């Protein structure tokens, strides 16, 4: 359970919070494909990801899905039901074998109510996510498919990577999933990626993407973005 201490959201959590977690939180492993909960299920727990990937999504009656987010190590989900009517407002599916910690939402709720520093951390956290969603809408309006992929790649690169140096990016999950994350069809993703290749000189081998110069990718993708800094260094994107 020491893992929780490394989650930035919990930097200001109290000893009592961690103690409660030690008593009431459960680590769990889940295989790929497992549905953790679905839209409108009553929400008792939120989850912390220690390993693997989790997809959050909604779907309509006719089965059409829209991917809300795909999360990984250090990220949390399900906590937002606290502010709604204690129902999950999305479905969650394991897309890469995952280790999760299941924690009663009530513990978090209590901590937020009693520990004002924690409440502030939570506010920062939610506010940042709100902004990211706004950015995402902007991107879908302004950027075309290849640019959205370029932006996605840039966000995968660590902030301290210097320019003018060969960089290798490992796509974190299936291309089909990336496509859904970016709001496009798999076919479109495939075609858009090769268009991106033509425009920026990136090299693609399976799930590996290599590029010699960040500059070109930034120039191509971030023209269509209002952020001052590129998506690589901006916390917004």
Partner DNA sequence: CGAGGGTTTGAAGTGCATCAAATAGTGTGG
Partner DNA sequence: CCACACTATTTGATGCACTTCAAACCCTCG
**Where on the chain is the footprint of DNA (CB under 7 A)?**
144-146, 174-177, 183-194, 204, 206-207
* DSSP letter for each residue of 202-231: -EEETTEEEES-HHHHHHHHHTT---SS-T
> Could you give the CA distance from residue 237 to residue 34 in angstroms, rounded to a whole number?
29
Q: In whole angstroms, give the CA distance from residue 39 to residue 84.
A: 13
Cβ distance to a second copy smaller for residue 129 or 161 = 129
- Kindly tell me which residue out of 1, 34, 44, 58 binds a second copy, with binding defined by CB under 8 A: 58
In the list 104, 172, 183, 201, the residue contacting a second copy (rule: CB under 8 A) is: 183
Phi-psi region of 98 (alpha: psi -120 to 50; beta: other; left: phi over 0): beta
Please state the closest distance from residue 32 (CB atom) to DNA, in A. 9
Please name the residues in contact with 122: beta carbons below 8 A apart, sequence gap of 6 or more: 9, 112
Closer residue to DNA (CB): 52 or 146:
146
Q: Per rule CB under 8 A, is residue 225 in the interface with a second copy?
A: yes
Q: By C-beta, is 78 or 146 nearer to DNA?
A: 146
Q: How far apart are the first and last CA of the chain?
A: 31
Report H helices in 58-212: 105-114, 116-142, 145-156, 175-181, 186-200
CB of 209 to a second copy, least distance (A): 25
Scan residues 204-223 and list those touching a second copy (CB under 8 A).
223
Considering only residues 111 to 140 of the shown chain, the ones binding a second copy according to CB under 8 A are 112-114, 116, 119-120, 122-124, 126-131, 133-134, 136-138, 140
Q: Considering the complex, state which of residue 58 and residue 105 has its C-beta at the smaller distance from DNA.
A: 58
Query: In this complex, which beta carbon is closest to DNA, that of residue 34 or of residue 191?
Result: 191
71, 7 contact by CB (below 8 A): no
Q: Which is nearer to DNA, 90 or 189 (CB)?
A: 189
User: In 10 A of CB 226, how many CB atoms?
Assistant: 10
Distance separating alpha carbons of residues 49 and 3, to the nearest angstrom: 10
Chain contacts with a second copy (rule: CB under 8 A)? 39-40, 58-62, 64, 66, 68, 80, 82-84, 89-90, 112-114, 116, 119-120, 122-124, 126-131, 133-134, 136-138, 140-142, 183, 223-226, 228, 236
């Amino acid at each position: 359970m020491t893992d929780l201490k490394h989650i930035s959201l919990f930097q200001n959590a109290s000893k009592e919070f961690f103690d409660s977690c030690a008593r009431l939180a459960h680590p769990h492993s889940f295989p790929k494909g497992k549905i953790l909960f679905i839209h409108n299920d009553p929400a008792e727990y939120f989850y912390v990801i220690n390993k693997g990937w989790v997809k959050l999504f909604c779907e309509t009656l006719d089965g059409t899905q829209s991917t809300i987010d795909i999360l990984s190590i250090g990220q949390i989900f399900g906590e937002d039901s606290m502010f709604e009517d204690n129902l999950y407002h999305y479905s969650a599916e394991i897309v890469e074998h995952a280790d999760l910690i299941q924690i009663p939402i009530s513990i978090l709720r209590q901590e937020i109510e009693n520990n004002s520093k924690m409440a502030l951390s939570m506010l920062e956290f939610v506010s940042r996510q709100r902004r990211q969603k706004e950015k995402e809408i902007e991107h879908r309006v302004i950027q075309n498919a290849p640019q959205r992929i370029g932006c996605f790649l840039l966000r995968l690169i660590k902030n301290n990577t210097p320019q003018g140096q060969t960089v290798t990016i490992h796509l974190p999950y299936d291309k089909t999933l990336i496509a859904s994350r970016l709001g496009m069809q798999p076919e479109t993703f495939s075609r858009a990626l090769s268009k991106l290749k033509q425009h920026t000189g990136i090299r693609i081998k399976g799930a590996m993407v290599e590029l010699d110069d960040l500059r070109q990718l930034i120039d191509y993708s971030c023209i269509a973005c209002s952020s001052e800094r590129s998506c690589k260094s901006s916390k917004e994107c």
